[in-house]
Amino acid sequence: MKHKIIIAGLIISALFSSCQQFEDDYLDTDAPSTLDPSLIFSEPDLAKGAVDGIKVPFAETNSYRGRFLPYYGLNTDTEWYNTSQTAGDKADLCVYDAKPSNTEMNTTNNAYSMMFSGIERANVCITGMRQYGNPKPGTEMGQLLGEALTLRAIYYADLLKAWGDVPARFEPITTATLYLPKTSRDVIYKQLLADLGEASTLVAWPNETSYTSTVEHVNKAFVKAFRARLALVASGYQQYPDGVRRSNDPELSVANMYALALKESREVIQSGSAHLESTFEGLWRKYNQEITNAGGESLWELPFADGRGRMLFTFAVKHTSPSDQFQQNGANRGGVAGPLPFVFYDYDQTDLRRDVTCVPYKWGTAVAGTPYPIAKQELAGLDTWCFGKYRYEWMTRRVTSDNDDGVNKMYMRYAEVLLIAAETANELEGPSAAMPYLKEIRRRSFSSADQAVKVENYVNNLTSKEAMFNALVEENKYEFTGEMERKQALIRWNLLKANLDKAKQKMADLSARTGDYANVPSTLYYKYKSDNVSLDIYGLNRGETTNPGATYTAFAWTWTGTAADAKIASLYKVGMNPDNRQFWPIWQVFLDGSNGQLKNDFGY
């Protein structure tokens, strides 16, 4: 059963109003003394309620649930908003044309404010536990302090990822700190790295305690892995007000940060406290089945109750009808975003990740059935693939909410730890040091019969640092498409616009069946399997051009003309340079309410 966030004794409410004012809002109670911080933060059970309260802003309507997760990270060289070509504020968030007045975001309860609300909740907890809790390693209070530090770092990492420089708030708000200007992200990254270093000494490994038996609580493997991720981001390329560059702070140099990331990732690997799931499909079935036991591949998940969260609502294989044999979540759920059309064809044909990640069908209109209406799979167009990692049909629970599905966001998984280790080992020690980590990723990705060629020979031939780096850029694509981690990776590699331009050219070549896509079939053939629901498709693989017979129906697998040209062009808005639009602007309501302290950079 999924963990439910229960706030015991205290709800810390840090509401971020349009004038950027936070205030503590305590619930009425018959026992006012229970709200005394000296009691709350000296009693682990009460402190746990307060720390759980830090997570509440994740699930608020316009926070991660309905705004940040559905829009941030789309339109990369692997993923896009499936109606990017349709003008409007939703598409603008993805096509690098977001404006401060964006109607999807320009509200006082937007993700930007909810992240700061979570930070304020964390600040109150951190201050209280330090003052009253005696939080030491190996104690309940130490675990809770480590979790609070980590949750604050998550909120801040996502603020920096989406908005760049933001105000630094690491103490509860006072009248004197009500209005603050933006702080250099370099300063904030250094604080987060220090906080996570402390947190890693306080929290337990997965399954070391009952508290860390679920990935809905913070554990040492996640903290170290997350610290490694942030070290790479802090030292990577990113847009500063004076241009795209690496940090000038010597503490955030590649040498320092890569050494830190390599150390942390290796310690996670050597701990044996997490591991790859045995199959790629099995990983995603387990995710959709909402199995949250720690010690597997998932390191930490952003927890949603059954009636909150929109991961499948947004990203699942599309379900046309409001109710079918798999879900009752409403009409046209899923399919909002998907892989770019060529991604399926960039995978090696024998890569076991391909068919899990890229789905060419949707679920059609349901007809009467017992006990639920029955929908069949229907082919979608070449330009509207779905992410197959998210599937109502793989759930064990039937979603009945009209607006939410309750499936967690898998925030980080062990595969990323291996790829971080490979990237940093390659940079600091050379390609031979990176090979074992890349081989481990690829062994799961190919059948035993293919491993001699696709794993051993492939990796052993990556004998230069450049060749290994380029292979890792591609491997990240094959492993993480559909998880919306690619945008930040492209930015830190300084490949955002370059790879988006390559993606546009690949789509044009696929549309015209030229270049690397000349042998992609232009006709698919399908029939239904014995269940009369699932499609048996022929013609998806390169070179499959022979008509398989009269039992199959032909389907045009083409995408041409002005409509194709317009959609390809919409990967990023014509006239925009994604390298100059790496961040969203701070929304107008927060500029107006900042007492003149906040401004937008980058020409917004």
- Backbone torsions φ then ψ of 184, nearest 5 degrees: -55, 130
Q: Is the peptide bond before 371 cis (omega within 30 degrees of 0)?
A: yes
pLDDT of residue 306: 87
Residue 338 pairs with which residues in a beta bridge?
A: 80
Q: What is the pLDDT of residues 155-179, one digit of tens each?
A: 999 999 999 999 999 999 999 999 9
- pLDDT at residue 16 greater than cutoff 70: no
Backbone torsions φ then ψ of 46, nearest 5 degrees: -75, -40
| Cα–Cα distance, 75 to 572 (Å, whole number) | 7
pLDDT at 296 over 50: yes
Predicted confidence (pLDDT) per residue in 299-319, tens digit: 999 999 988 999 999 999 999
pLDDT at 17 over 60: no
The phi and psi torsions of 343 (rounded to 5 degrees) equal -60, -45
Model pLDDT for residues 248-270, shown as the tens digit of each residue: 999 999 999 999 999 999 999 99
pLDDT tens track for 90-107:
999 999 999 999 999 999
CA distance 567 to 338: 13
442-466 per-position pLDDT tens digit: 999 999 999 999 999 999 999 999 9
Q: Can you say whether residue 443 is alpha, beta or left, with left for phi > 0 and alpha for psi between -120 and 50 degrees?
A: alpha
> Is the pLDDT score of 218 beyond 90?
yes
- Structural contact between residues 56 and 152, judged by C-beta atoms closer than 8 angstroms: no
Specify whether the CB–CB gap between 281 and 352 falls below 8 A: yes
pTM of the shown model: 0.94
Q: How far are the Cα atoms of 1, 5, 90, 312, 353 from residue 289, in angstroms, in the given order?
A: 10, 19, 30, 12, 19
> What are 434-440's contacts with CB under 8 Å, separation 24+?
434/462, 434/468, 434/472, 435/459, 435/460, 435/462, 435/468, 437/269, 438/462, 438/468, 438/471, 438/472, 438/475, 440/276
Report the C-alpha gap between 568 and 561 in whole angstroms: 11
pLDDT score of 488: 98
Strands 523-528 and 553-556: antiparallel
Measuring CA to CA, how many Å separate 398 from each of 289, 307, 368?
Answer: 11, 12, 18
What is the SS3 string spanning 364-420?
CCCECCCCCCECCEEECCCCCCEECCCCHHHCCCCCCCCCCCCCCEEEEEHHHHHHH
Give the 3-state secondary structure percentages of the chain, helix then strand then coil, rounded to 5.
45, 10, 45
Provide mean pLDDT across the span 561-569: 97
d(CA 282, CA 192): 33
Please compute the mean of the pLDDT values over residues 181-197 and round it to a whole number: 98
CATH assignment of 1-63+109-203, given 3.30.470.20, 1.10.10.60, 1.25.40.890, 3.30.70.270? 1.25.40.890
Q: Is the dihedral of CA 82, 84, 87, 88 positive or negative?
A: positive
Residue 43: which residues within 8 A CB-CB, separation 6 or more? none
What DSSP designation does 331 have? Answer: T
Closest CA to 537 of 347, 346, 358, 393: 358
Model confidence pLDDT, tens digit, residues 407-431: 999 999 999 999 999 999 999 999 9
pLDDT at 602: 87
Domain spans of the chain, in order of start: 1-63+109-203, 309-407, 521-556
